[in-house]
Chains A and B, each alone.
Chain A
């Protein structure tokens, strides 16, 4: 039974992951899908919106200079369905994120891959379907 349930969940996950992508611009054209950058910083604001939401954090760049980073995330509707609401992440939260960086040198932004909040262990990006498309 356990095995059957697991198969069912995997199938459901695959189905959800394969449903309508919400791409507007091209993610692969905007960000390096094969590069990953890790940042540690504080949340500045969460902009829930279409076609993509943006999580903005203040974190140092590779030279140690503090920057405002815009991390592209799923649409507000998709995040809502995933249980992420306006007050799920609030300004000042300490977070560690990974992202696919922008292809354009000097852009302080990326496509959010994973998120981890230190205070309570809240996370996103590691479970099936938790990707931006």
Chain B
């Protein structure tokens, strides 16, 4: 028995000396040694070689349309390597950690890559952002230790490349990384799952070596004119001259899940099989189809954007709100049946921002100048109640659509009906009603009597202030900044506007931009696909990224998540590619039904397509076709 006690004592000492978690210090500068797939990492991979990447048919179509001159687009010249590619890029990574000074726990890692961005890995248990939050090139990452392995989960990625030849992942991808340290080596296993362009998860292992002599030098990037021949470089289906140019056997080069397994080597030796046959004989889809998007929860969610600007999500189309000392300005009003919820949310927000009690700093001699009472300033500061928030002063309609204008009437009526919103907002008698501003084509379409002599929309919802010029601006600052409205002709409709908040640096884009579907083009209301494209380019002209094509000017889409330059560029490219494909088919004399049957949108349908609902893929093709035939 005594022997047992003796043997347990050293064990207890040992256990006490071990940290609570078997986490490993990852700090330091690590250099890649390029021992994996060197042929594709220095000069670049052969075009059309997707071997080892489990592309599905849509992903293959996307890759085949890739023209590498795309990198010369102003928005892409400084695009950093995206998170899923970064480990395979050339250079080094510096890992540092932030430590809670009290608990001594690592609360955040920072990965700084030579030619990319600093990437935070949150270790403090925070949740991933909601789906309407912006995406970035590196994504949003959280980590936790499992034994001696750091497991990182990354969501909110911007769509980009898996290999620098067009093989891509989409905005909907999720990346897992498993990092272990073996002495002076880091081993990173990256697994990316993408329901849009991959039929199975893509797995890649890379190793780095500790190298204290490696420097992470300054790496500025400057955009310049690179003399490319087309606005958005890409190849039409079947016209990419570079595929197969490097004498790579097509059976392997076409990629797909079959090409990632060891058994595939045997098939490569069979001279009688071609890629299509392999794909036919071995349909593999081990990842389940994407779960349907959850239905809206009926609530209005608020995303603070920057400066005075907030994005209200959940009322059909997104609503942009400027809230401050001058009152409230709304870009779009949501549908009529959401007015009460919108108003209630705006009230809560305005109260929190402009009418919340502040901590009392008025103490003794320090509050002699306070305006809160003359004789007992300190006490009056404590008991004073802040003035209520100021009302909705302006509503700007970006188009005529009911999901953007339906709330005009009720939101412009002030004070708000307390029976609707449950409170009186704002106090009676401040300002009679809000101005409703829109391009005059919105008013024309709202007010033009139909065959029965009725107007499409009750006059109380009509704009009270219209403009017919290319732009319009509020006559003075609102909430401390200038507000400009730009008319984008013949885009989603003929009355579209975008609104630019110059100090907050936010553009409210209306339905020119949406991340949840192909652009809605209402041909009967003057919409055209070329107008949408011009509108997206106009947004890109106005927007300035914070760094490496992300951040900076933020763009609130009519529907979907908050965007920046990189997102708008990705969407613009998609619209340009769709336009060019459909235009080419028209030139070839194809009918609308033939165009639909040719599935020109197949590669992007997983992101933007739909077979049901108010705007299907077929409806988009038809609208684009008709507007291009005009």
Point out residues on A near B: beta carbons under 8 Å: 20-30, 33, 47, 49-51, 54, 56, 67-70, 72, 77, 102-109, 133
Most buried by B among A27, A50, A104, A106: A104
Partner of A107, one of B45, B90, B228: B228
Cβ of B90 and Cβ of A20 under 8 Å apart?
Answer: yes
Cβ of A69 and Cβ of B227 under 8 Å apart?
Answer: yes
Instruction: List chain A residues, Cβ under 8 A from B68.
Output: 25-26, 29-30, 103-104
Binds A, one of B215-223, B377-385, B399-407: B215-223
Instruction: List chain A residues, Cβ under 8 A from B225.
Output: 56, 70
The chain A residue sitting closest to B68, CB to CB, is A29
CA distance A103 to B165 in the complex (A): 13
B316: interface (CB < 8 Å): no
The chain A residue sitting closest to B46, CB to CB, is A28
Partner of A104, one of B115, B219, B233: B233
Cβ of B227 and Cβ of A70 under 8 Å apart?
Answer: yes
CA distance A110 to B116 in the complex (A): 25
The chain B residue sitting closest to A105, CB to CB, is B229
Least Cβ–Cβ distance between B77 and chain A, in angstroms: 8
For the complex with contacts A20-B91, A22-B90, 10 further pairs of A-B residues with Cβ separation under 8 Å are: A29-B47, A30-B69, A50-B219, A67-B227, A70-B225, A103-B68, A104-B67, A107-B227, A108-B227, A109-B72
The chain A residue sitting closest to B164, CB to CB, is A26
The chain A residue sitting closest to B229, CB to CB, is A106
CA distance A58 to B71 in the complex (A): 23
Instruction: List chain B residues, Cβ under 8 A from A24.
Output: 71, 115
How many A-B pairs have beta carbons closer than 8 Å: the answer is 96
Partner of A23, one of B90, B165, B219, B226: B90
Instruction: List chain B residues, Cβ under 8 A from A23.
Output: 42-44, 90
Least Cβ–Cβ distance between A37 and chain B, in angstroms: 14
Say whether chain B's binding surface is mostly helix, strand, loop, or mixed: loop
The chain B residue sitting closest to A108, CB to CB, is B227
Most buried by A among B69, B220, B241: B69
The chain B residue sitting closest to A33, CB to CB, is B43
Instruction: List chain A residues, Cβ under 8 A from B217.
Output: 77
Partner of B228, one of A25, A51, A67, A109: A109
Q: Can you sample 8 A-B contacts with CB below 8 Å?
A: A21-B90, A28-B43, A29-B45, A29-B47, A49-B224, A106-B229, A107-B227, A107-B229
Instruction: List chain A residues, Cβ under 8 A from B230.
Output: 104, 106
B242: interface (CB < 8 Å): yes
Instruction: List chain A residues, Cβ under 8 A from B44.
Output: 23, 25-30
CA distance A22 to B91 in the complex (A): 9
Most buried by B among A23, A28, A49: A28
CA distance A104 to B221 in the complex (A): 24
Instruction: List chain B residues, Cβ under 8 A from A27.
Output: 43-44
Cβ of A108 and Cβ of B229 under 8 Å apart?
Answer: yes
Instruction: List chain A residues, Cβ under 8 A from B224.
Output: 47, 49, 54
The chain B residue sitting closest to A106, CB to CB, is B229
CA distance A22 to B72 in the complex (A): 16
Most buried by A among B43, B47, B90, B241: B43
Least Cβ–Cβ distance between B186 and chain A, in angstroms: 18
Instruction: List chain B residues, Cβ under 8 A from A47.
Output: 222, 224
CA distance A28 to B228 in the complex (A): 16
Partner of A68, one of B45, B67, B227, B241: B227
Least Cβ–Cβ distance between A54 and chain B, in angstroms: 6
The chain B residue sitting closest to A102, CB to CB, is B69
CA distance A72 to B226 in the complex (A): 9
Cβ of B69 and Cβ of A107 under 8 Å apart?
Answer: yes
Least Cβ–Cβ distance between A40 and chain B, in angstroms: 18
CA distance A104 to B241 in the complex (A): 9
Cβ of A109 and Cβ of B227 under 8 Å apart?
Answer: yes
Partner of B165, one of A29, A56, A72: A29
Instruction: List chain A residues, Cβ under 8 A from B227.
Output: 56, 67-70, 107-109
Instruction: List chain B residues, Cβ under 8 A from A22.
Output: 90
Instruction: List chain A residues, Cβ under 8 A from B91.
Output: 20
The chain B residue sitting closest to A29, CB to CB, is B68
Least Cβ–Cβ distance between B143 and chain A, in angstroms: 28
Known contacts A68-B227, A109-B227; A26 and B43 CB within 8 A of each other = yes
Cβ of A109 and Cβ of B226 under 8 Å apart?
Answer: yes
Query: Which 5 pairs from chain A and chain B are nearest by CB?
Result: A26-B44, A106-B229, A25-B71, A29-B68, A49-B222
Partner of A133, one of B43, B115, B229: B43
CA distance A13 to B481 in the complex (A): 58
Instruction: List chain B residues, Cβ under 8 A from A103.
Output: 47, 67-69, 241-242
Cβ of B226 and Cβ of A50 under 8 Å apart?
Answer: no
Most buried by B among A22, A33, A67: A22
Cβ of A133 and Cβ of B221 under 8 Å apart?
Answer: no
Instruction: List chain B residues, Cβ under 8 A from A54.
Output: 224, 226
